[in-house]
Amino acid sequence: MATDRKNIIRFTLENMIKQCGFKVKTGKNNSIDQFKELLFILQRKSLINILSDDDNICSPLIEYVKPKDLIICTLTIDFTNKYIELEDDEKEKIHNQEIDKVDNLKLLLYYCYLKCRIYKRPKDDQLVVSGGRAEVAYPSFEQINKDLGITDDTINKYNKILVDLNMIRISSAGNWYYKDDPNKILRESVNFYTLFTNEETATNNLKEGIKFWKKMDRNSNRIFTGNKNYKNNNKVLNGELGSIIKKEKLGTATEKDIARKNEILYSIKANDEQYGIHALLEANPGELLSDIYYSFNSDEKAEKYYELEKELGVINENNELLVEHEYYKWVMMNYNKDEHQYYVNCIDKHKNLKSIKHIGKPKPELFIIENDSEPDWDDVDDEEDTSMIDINALLDEM
């Protein structure tokens, strides 16, 4: 609804419902009650202010408003901050689309979800001129599924429709592998999304957004191949792994076979949080993980790792490191809370026998990280992991 020069909005429930593309229906839980409830929520959250009228044409009490009563209100929403504006032509494009048989209301919700996640620069900050932050978002399919409850296939379908409608553009950083991974197992980057105004602006936003993301500390231990044609095909590794598992069942597997199996499993089950810790420590040589997170203003994580560093005994009361930084890195990369006391014991022994680089555990590259928890990055809604092998399925086939 349009505001006048005094930023006052006048409308009726009947008009609002029709403008939104719905039919005016009476009765419990029909459109009139639903729109009243929406207005009541906006009023309760102080997002709108309902005004009274001297001639009693409108009522400030939403529950008593009739469909044809005039409602007078003002907006108290700062659209430049936390909220997005859905333009009429955007709504109409989606509402009238017939590209595919989908629920257009859910498609509209998905579009609004992307639009509210995409960064919006101030109007006077142009990307090419000032090097301003790119107007992109990069939520993973997993994050979208968690937030909206839609499947990967539905996300792909919605993305195609919105691109065809010239409402968004999509790109990615392409395939990558961990530089510490001896098997160089490829993983697929997340999608980057930007709103479409014209091809040049969209292309620049996607290009600059991906360039900035690839340079982030957490990606410093990733090798990007430059290829975007991803194919999850690990037949060679599957076959090798299956062969070793068969040998184990027959009791003929050698120590070399077991080491190789562990190496393959480590590559396949690579944990983003553990690799991410490694990347941060590599990009910030000599620094503690807690200090790195403090520098990122990630106070919650900084406190978490500071407490862990104290409990493990790798720092003293003056926050000074009591072990070599390489050993500290190994501990933080491989730490498992279920084996906390084991690591405490290892560190205690190491402090007394500093000539021993690693105590008890195999070297990091052969150590299998069993951690099913979600990655704990501040903004870690940005990774797809499509390289996993179903180990149980392999065992069932034997």
Percent of the chain with pLDDT over 70: 75
Q: What angle do CA 29, 34, 37 make, to 5 degrees?
A: 120
Q: What average pLDDT does the chain have?
A: 77
Give me 293's structure tokens.
Answer: 């997170």
Average pLDDT over residues 187-194: 90
What pLDDT score does 170 carry? 95
- Mean pLDDT check: name the lowest of 106-115, 177-186, 230-239, 273-282: 230-239
Check: CB of residue 241 under 8 Å from CB of residue 249. no
Quickly list H helices, 96-136: 104-117, 127-130
pTM metric for this prediction: 0.56
- Mean pLDDT check: name the lowest of 14-23, 75-84, 178-187: 75-84
What are residue 75's DSSP bridge partners? 48
3-state SS assignment for residue 11: strand
What pLDDT score does 395 carry? 40
Q: pLDDT higher for 174 or 274? A: 174
What are residue 188's DSSP bridge partners? 175
322 has pLDDT over 70: yes
Highest mean pLDDT: which range of 159-163, 239-243, 283-287, 347-351: 159-163
3-state SS assignment for residue 300: helix
CA dihedral 195, 198, 204, 205 (to 10 degrees): -10
Task: Tell me the CA distances in angstroms from 398 to 142, 250, 253, one per residue in order.
Answer: 32, 12, 16
277 has pLDDT over 70: yes
Average pLDDT over residues 309-334: 88
147 has pLDDT over 80: yes
Backbone region of residue 297 per phi and psi (left: phi > 0; alpha: psi in -120 to 50; beta: other values):
left
Average pLDDT over residues 155-172: 94
What pLDDT score does 349 carry? 87
Check: CB of residue 309 under 8 Å from CB of residue 323. no
What pLDDT score does 397 carry? 43
What pLDDT score does 179 carry? 81
What pLDDT score does 200 carry? 93
- From CA 178, how far away is CA 186, in angstroms rounded? 8
